Structure 1
Amino acid sequence: MNQANSLVAAGWDVELVSAVRRRDDIQFPLDARVKVSTVVDLREDAHVPPAGPVARWRDRRRGRLLDRPARHIPAGEFGYRYFNRYVEERLIAYLRTLTDGVLVTTRPALNFLAAEHASRGVIRVAQEHMNHGTHKRDVQQRIRETYPRFDTVAVLTERDREEYEALLPGTRVVRIPNAVHSLDQVPARPRSKIAVAAGRLFPQKGFDLLIPAWAKLVEAYPDWQLRIYGSGEKKAELRALIEEHHLYNHVFLMGHTDRLDDELAKASFYVLSSRFEGLPMVMIEAMSHSLPVVGFDCPTGPSDVLTHGVDGLLVPPEDPDALADAMAKLMKDEGLRAEMGVAAVLTAASYGPDAVHPRWEALFTELATRPGRHGQRRPGGAAKGPHA
């Protein structure tokens, strides 16, 4: 959304293509000039009962394909459950209609389909948001087979760039981090006795490791709160873990919020307990509020952003005892929280829109004007971004 807003403001024609749509409302602010279209609309009121024998046949076929597993997407893809034979067919049909402009696909499943089915007239850019080693083997194999067909593969960190360049010799790989939506944020409160974590309530985010770590701190710091923002399939398990450790007055599952910036500003540090990351954007958003970070040094992202001991504290991955010790170090020292918070906002500045989005513009312009390319250039250029 941030990228689309920036590009359309700079004069590009931008279309955001929703591969699968289930909700009426768009979850983040989007410039009204960005066109939004949908390939497969699964909202309840979107399906019109068919009239006529041909329409009924097509509707029955649609139902059968919705129940059949994907054929082109490997089962190890993290979003595999969102894809089925019908979604695949509709996406392939859409990709074959594209004749020019820049097509940006944003996850492995969409990258695989674009590599194999997008027309030759379109410039193809694959965004890769995860460290290669976190992908399952079947996904890694498809990456090796298909990513060389892209004009550019864009990754989030320097370590990822080096790894993908070695994996895909001859393929252009660039590092362009995601951008925070704004650097003009309300600074956090070093005096606050609130720590914040945020993300989907999935195993990746490691909240099942964070809660036991917090339990080790309650006796020494009974007046502190841990607030976890997000929704997801592990909510009941995390609730049970809170009950098991008698943390119902200390750890709170806050659910989804549309006002995370306001909640971050109430805290005095942020906790990243992930088992793995691509580039932890909520962490960088927190740093833009002058929040220091305590986190696992998981692959990849945290250590590509943080400097241990300067703007945050990193501990060995999946080590709740070490995480608890690092949190305690900040909890007992308001001066250290304030000092690291100043350093954190300076670090976040390099991920601001003005620092990141011109890099996308430069890349798209270069690709569109290469010899042999007939893509449109700004302001007539198009940037399309399917996502699941």
Structure 2
Amino acid sequence: MRIRYMLLHAYGMGGTIRTVVNQANAMAAAGHDVEIVSVVRRRARPQFPIDRRVEVTTLVDQRGGVHADSVGRRIWRRMRGKVVPRGEFAAGYFTERVEKAVIDYVSALDGGILVTTRPALNLISARRGPSGVVRVAQEHMNFATYRESVRRQIARHYGRLDAVAVLTGTDRDTYQRLLPGTPVVRIPNAIHTLRQTPSVQENPIVVAAGRLVKQKGLDLLIPAFAQVVRRFPDWRLHIYGTGPKKTELSALVGELGLDGNVELMGRTPRLDEKLAQASVYALSSRFEGLPMVMIEAMSHALPVVAFDCPTGPRDVLTDGVDGLLVPPKDVDALAGTLIRVIGDRELRLRLGAAAARTARDYAPEAIMPMWEDLFTELSAAPRAG
């Protein structure tokens, strides 16, 4: 099969990029003809390893600067596109030039499968994609977190797609009600491998990872860890990732006197190694799609303490069996639960062992056949006019 995966920025960091690259690599390894289409490019090299059999195409190269055109520079800067709704989280990327590049690429396709990976791209595929192309929308965030302007456009246009793939049962039910007659399937993201080094629960380290943005709730985790430090002063919190909240979070660490206990570690290409060296994984998100780094932590036999946020953690974890859930945004409850698992190594070992078993459900060997079956079924169906 000819499969094209379209990402906003395939050269960047983030859970969606990581999981889509994993999927493309697995499909290429299975013998399919695979291409990753990066709408924009702002780095020299991808941050995640891409199989040499996967073709990578860029639509708008912005390595010289977002508005680096020598002709019409100011026009591109002022004018936004007209298809992507303003409420889309990445709407700022879609200048008129960028949106036109995506429309031109999508409308010129002839056959094969096109998988788009965020509402902006899904909407362009729905509205401008040829009927001879199998068009599949991947939703990596839960529907309720989108702004009203985006939800309206989804309800209006997603029915033209051949299928919508979501990560959780909650979203599957939501989209089925919203799009009667359109196939909606739940296919979780796959982790890249199960062959991981398990934590031996010897290092006094709690790990969190993700973009330094409000969604990830690190401004809630750091005060919670301040309470942990009062009970366990030798424990440390390592936060991996970059983002616009770095200065604010660094200031919070200083205000709470946690400079020796909380470290913003930045980006790392060796996250698996860092997870294996930790003893607890903490997830403090205000909302999620499906938290893949959490599942990767589980594959290292790490116990998870997570906010019971919409959606994701409860779709993966069974509270008290392979992780512990606490009420959303409750800093004291998060602190108390971290204190509980830090103080009980046997509990950590039990939760971690169960977490590693749960992670098997997200192995490529379990997930990729779901995609192959879906693509085969859709390819065999008659195309709508």
TM, length-normalised to structure 1: 0.91
Find 2:292's aligned residue among 281, 289, 292: 281
Partner of 2:56: 36
The structure having more radius of gyration, on CA atoms, is 1
Find 2:304's aligned residue among 293, 296, 299: 293
Give the secondary structure class of the aligned counterpart of 2:231: coil
Whether 2:275 is the aligned partner of 1:264: answer yes
Instruction: Describe the superposition over 1:239-274 as per-residue Cα deviations: whole angstroms up to 9, x where unpaired.
Output: 000001000001000000000000000101100000
Once the two structures are TM-superposed, the CA of residue 29 in structure 1 deviates from its matched residue by: 1.3
Partner of 1:381: none
Q: Is the 8 A contact 1:206 1:273 kept in 2?
A: yes
Q: Is the 8 A contact 1:306 1:312 kept in 2?
A: yes
User: Where does structure 1 lack aligned partners over 5 or more consecutive residues?
Assistant: 50-58, 375-388
Aligned identity (percent) is 56
Instruction: Describe the superposition over 1:68-89 as per-residue Cα deviations: whole angstroms up to 9, x where unpaired.
Output: 1232111211111211111011
Give the secondary structure class of the aligned counterpart of 1:346: helix
User: Where does structure 2 lack aligned partners over 5 or more consecutive residues?
Assistant: 1-20
State how far apart, in whole Å, the 2-side matches of 1:177 and 1:20 are: 26
Instruction: Describe the superposition over 1:97-155 as per-residue Cα deviations: whole angstroms up to 9, x where unpaired.
Output: 10100000000000111111111211100001111110000000011011111100000
Listed as ranges, the matches of 1:43-122 within 5 Å are 43-44=63-64, 60-61=71-72, 63-122=74-133
Give the secondary structure class of the aligned counterpart of 1:336: helix
State how far apart, in whole Å, the 2-side matches of 1:37 and 1:119 are: 20
Question: 159-168 vs 325-334, which deviates more?
Answer: 159-168
Give the letter aligned to residue 335 of structure 2: A
Q: 1:63 to 1:89 in 2, by over 3 A?
A: farther
Cα RMSD over matched residues?
Answer: 1.6
Q: Is the 8 A contact 1:62 1:86 kept in 2?
A: no
Partner of 1:246: 257
Structure with higher RCO (Cα < 8 A, 6+ apart): 1
Question: 189-198 vs 225-234, which deviates more?
Answer: 189-198
Q: 1:48 to 1:156 in 2, by over 3 A?
A: closer
Q: Is the 8 A contact 1:96 1:119 kept in 2?
A: yes
Q: Is the 8 A contact 1:66 1:87 kept in 2?
A: no
Q: 1:45 to 1:302 in 2, by over 3 A?
A: closer
Partner of 1:354: 365
Instruction: Describe the superposition over 1:182-219 as per-residue Cα deviations: whole angstroms up to 9, x where unpaired.
Output: 00000012122100000000000000000001111212
Once the two structures are TM-superposed, the CA of residue 48 in structure 1 deviates from its matched residue by: 9.5
Give the secondary structure class of the aligned counterpart of 2:182: coil
Find 1:202's aligned residue among 193, 208, 213: 213
Whether 2:343 is the aligned partner of 1:337: answer no
Give the secondary structure class of the aligned counterpart of 2:136: strand
Runs of 4+ residues over 6 Å off in structure 1: 45-49
TM, length-normalised to structure 2: 0.92
State how far apart, in whole Å, the 2-side matches of 1:360 and 1:297 are: 28
State how far apart, in whole Å, the 2-side matches of 1:94 and 1:163 are: 30
Q: 1:194 to 1:366 in 2, by over 3 A?
A: same
